[in-house]
């Protein structure tokens, strides 16, 4: 992008070593270090959430009671799996880790707008996580959705868990707010809105949702808490409350939240495909507008979670039509990614393999969404395994694969080392095969009518459940392998990463690997958008 090349090393000094010791990490206001603090935290919870998933799958491998004798324990496991994976892993997932690390670098800023607030957000996140940890003393069994009135009647520590979710939400709000202000105010000279990398756009759309939707669920959870503690009669039907209102308020946040998870992943894919195809991102503006459109539409589709929840038929019809509105910008994105590869010069590096897998998985996720947006079929599929499979295709196939792709793509920048490509590719195969083996059978289970959140099931469903369990273990091994490979490279890797190993044009690659504390030694000047590939061999000059 003709930015000032900024690879002149101030020998040996970078953000990782310019200060040393645990204390320097715990008090850092450097967005890159905060990104890493988030990364270590969320991966811990990813691991924990994964363990609960495997425990559930083990129980479900065969009909009847196997390793769990008490259904209450199973209910606790799926609740903790949901709470950990949603509130503590994937909502902060890409934005708080990769967003924190990359956003200022990509727009040519020295830091986010409010660095101390950024650190504060991480501490709030930790406080929320600790509260959730205390809730484990009497773990909740309500499901991550906390539906009233069961969540009011359940004897478990719902109060502590909802309070934890509220605190985690507050962290999410402050991160979103910080990013919006950063993107508005701290872009480098020449970095106009339409020269922003699509990852920045994805993060921006995400930040808007984080800021505007999270307060609603926060207050809803507080009301639920008040209902339990004081009996204010808002959601408890015995006191004149309306449990359906809880569903409305909950999904008003929790539908947009899936776009908090997946929009940044869209951004990641939009960064990876052009670099490894040596072609400009096809239809840059269409991709950008699609992100913004998805964020906008996400606010007005929440009741498609409630087609059979007793809402009026008219409301169901309106929300069905609106939900189809999400399909179109999503389809536009997929078409543009695929077209980017047309006549490219395609390298099958690990990030690119994940990006290709992402497109495939997200096609399945998107098309199965149509069944759920269509009224006549959603009546059947609602709350069956079909929904479970669809959700995991969007969130694991989308957001988690996006995060893993991003970790591989920007790993050289973050750590200054290169990872073992062969081992990474083996992990990729395990992840993709294991994932499909887990969740494709669950689509079929859903079609056959298997309801979700079932500790036990009729014998005719057993074969598919067994396959799904085998897949889950392969999937788990794949993720562990991929992350261990990266961790090993970061700690013991011998191969130093060059500033720009993949010949990318966007700003974060124009500084050294790892970047210096202040990101750029000289403020970069931007003259073009970051996808100007394809002029004959122009990239060799960078």
- Within residues 330-359, the interface with another protein by CB under 8 A covers 331-332, 334-336, 338-339, 341-348, 356, 359
Among 324, 418, 423, 521, binds another protein (CB under 8 A): 324
Q: Is 171 in the site for another protein (CB under 8 A)?
A: no
Q: Taking the complex as a whole, how short is the minimal distance between the CB of residue 513 and another protein, in angstroms?
A: 21
Ranges of H-type helices in 136-189: 150-153, 158-185
Q: What is the DSSP string of 486-526?
A: HHHHHHH---BPPS-TT---SGGGGB-SSPPTTS-SS----
**CA-based radius of gyration for the chain:** 23
**536, 31 in Cβ contact below 8 A?**
no
**295, 261 in Cβ contact below 8 A?**
no
Structure tokens, 357: 């897998």
Residue closer to another protein, measured from CB, 379 or 484 = 379
Q: Taking the complex as a whole, how short is the minimal distance between the CB of residue 98 and another protein, in angstroms?
A: 20
Candidates 191-199, 366-374, 388-396, 493-501: pick the segment binding another protein (CB under 8 A): 366-374
Q: Is 501 in the site for another protein (CB under 8 A)?
A: no
Q: Taking the complex as a whole, how short is the minimal distance between the CB of residue 183 and another protein, in angstroms?
A: 11
Interaction mask 243-282, another protein, x per CB under 8 A: xxx---x---------------------------xxxx-x
Nearest 10 degrees: Cα torsion 264, 144, 435, 355: 0
Residue closer to another protein, measured from CB, 325 or 470 = 325
Distance in angstroms (rounded) separating the CA atoms of residues 37 and 139 = 26
State phi, psi for 158 to the nearest 5 degrees: -65, -35
- Give, as ranges, the residues between 449 and 488 that touch another protein (CB under 8 A): 449, 451-458
Distance in angstroms (rounded) separating the CA atoms of residues 361 and 368 = 11
- Give, as ranges, the residues between 71 and 90 that touch another protein (CB under 8 A): 71-72, 75
Query: CB 189: neighbour CB atoms within 10 A?
Result: 10
Query: Using the 8-state DSSP alphabet, how is residue 305 labeled?
Result: G
Q: Taking the complex as a whole, how short is the minimal distance between the CB of residue 516 and another protein, in angstroms?
A: 13
Q: What is the DSSP string of 192-261?
A: -GGGS-HHHHHHHHHHHHHHHHHHHHHHHHHHHHHHHHH--SSS-GGGT--HHHHHHHHHHHHTHHHHHH
**359, 282 in Cβ contact below 8 A?**
no
Mapped onto helix, strand or coil, the DSSP state of residue 440 is helix
Among 192, 313, 459, 494, binds another protein (CB under 8 A): 313
Residue closer to another protein, measured from CB, 373 or 400 = 373
Candidates 236-244, 430-438, 476-484, 494-502: pick the segment binding another protein (CB under 8 A): 236-244
- Give, as ranges, the residues between 511 and 540 that touch another protein (CB under 8 A): 518, 531-537
Mapped onto helix, strand or coil, the DSSP state of residue 225 is helix
Please report which helix (H) or strand (E) contains residue 351, including its range: helix 350-373
Q: Residues in contact with another protein, total (CB under 8 A)?
A: 131
Q: Is 297 in the site for another protein (CB under 8 A)?
A: no
Q: Is 33 in the site for another protein (CB under 8 A)?
A: no
Q: Is 63 in the site for another protein (CB under 8 A)?
A: no
Residue closer to another protein, measured from CB, 344 or 488 = 344
Q: Is 292 in the site for another protein (CB under 8 A)?
A: no
Residue closer to another protein, measured from CB, 133 or 310 = 310
Q: Taking the complex as a whole, how short is the minimal distance between the CB of residue 21 and another protein, in angstroms?
A: 18
- Give, as ranges, the residues between 371 and 430 that touch another protein (CB under 8 A): 371, 373-380, 382-384
């Amino acid at each position: 992008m003709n930015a000032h090349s900024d690879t002149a090393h101030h020998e040996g000094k970078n953000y990782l070593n310019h200060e040393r010791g645990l204390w320097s990490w715990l008090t850092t206001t450097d967005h890159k270090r905060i990104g890493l603090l988030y990364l270590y935290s969320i991966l811990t919870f990813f691991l924990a959430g994964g363990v609960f998933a495997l425990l559930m799958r083990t129980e479900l491998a065969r009909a009847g009671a196997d390793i769990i004798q008490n259904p209450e324990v199973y209910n606790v496991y799926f609740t903790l799996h949901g709470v950990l994976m949603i509130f503590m892993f994937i909502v902060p997932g890409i934005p708080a880790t990769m967003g924190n690390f990359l956003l200022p670098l990509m727009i040519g800023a020295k830091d986010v707008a409010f660095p101390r607030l950024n650190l504060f957000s991480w501490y709030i996140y930790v406080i929320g996580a600790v509260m959730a940890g205390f809730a484990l003393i009497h773990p909740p069994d309500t499901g991550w959705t906390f539906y009233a009135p069961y969540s009011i009647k359940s004897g478990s520590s719902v109060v502590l868990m909802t309070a934890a979710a509220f605190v985690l939400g507050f962290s999410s709000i402050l991160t979103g707010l910080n990013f919006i202000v950063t993107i508005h105010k701290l872009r480098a000279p020449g970095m106009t809105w339409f020269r922003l990398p699509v990852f920045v756009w994805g993060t921006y759309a995400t930040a808007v949702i984080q800021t505007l939707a999270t307060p609603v669920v926060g207050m809803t959870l507080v009301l639920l808490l008040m209902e339990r503690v004081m009996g204010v009669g808002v959601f408890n039907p015995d006191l004149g409350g309306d449990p359906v209102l809880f569903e409305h308020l909950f999904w008003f946040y929790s539908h947009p939240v899936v776009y908090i998870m997946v929009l940044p992943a869209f951004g990641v894919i939009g960064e990876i495909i052009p670099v490894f195809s040596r072609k400009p991102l096809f239809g840059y503006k269409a991709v950008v507008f699609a992100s913004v459109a998805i964020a906008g539409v996400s606010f007005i589709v929440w009741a498609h979670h409630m087609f059979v929840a007793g809402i009026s038929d008219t409301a169901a019809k309106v929300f069905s039509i609106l939900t189809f509105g999400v399909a179109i910008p999503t389809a536009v994105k997929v078409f543009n990614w695929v077209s980017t590869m047309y006549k490219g010069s395609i390298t099958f590096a690990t990030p690119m393999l994940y990006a290709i897998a992402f497109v495939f998985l997200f096609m399945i996720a998107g098309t199965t969404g149509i069944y759920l947006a269509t009224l006549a079929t959603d009546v059947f599929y609602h709350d069956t395994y079909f929904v479970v499979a669809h959700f995991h295709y969007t969130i694991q196939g989308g957001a988690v694969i996006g995060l893993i792709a991003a970790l591989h793509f920007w790993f050289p920048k973050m750590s200054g080392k290169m990872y073992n490509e062969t081992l990474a590719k083996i992990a990729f195969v395990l992840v993709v095969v294991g994932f499909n083996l887990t969740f494709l059978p669950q689509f079929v289970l859903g079609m056959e009518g298997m309801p979700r959140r079932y500790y036990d099931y009729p014998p005719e469903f057993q074969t598919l459940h067994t396959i799904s369990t085998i897949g889950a273990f392969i999937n788990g091994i794949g993720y562990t392998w991929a992350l261990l490979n990266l961790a090993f490279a970061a700690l013991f890797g011998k191969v130093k990463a060059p500033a720009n190993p993949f010949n990318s044009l966007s700003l974060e690659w124009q500084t050294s690997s790892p970047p210096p504390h202040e990101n750029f030694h000289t403020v970069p000047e931007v003259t073009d958008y970051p996808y100007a590939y394809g002029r004959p061999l122009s990239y060799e000059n960078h």
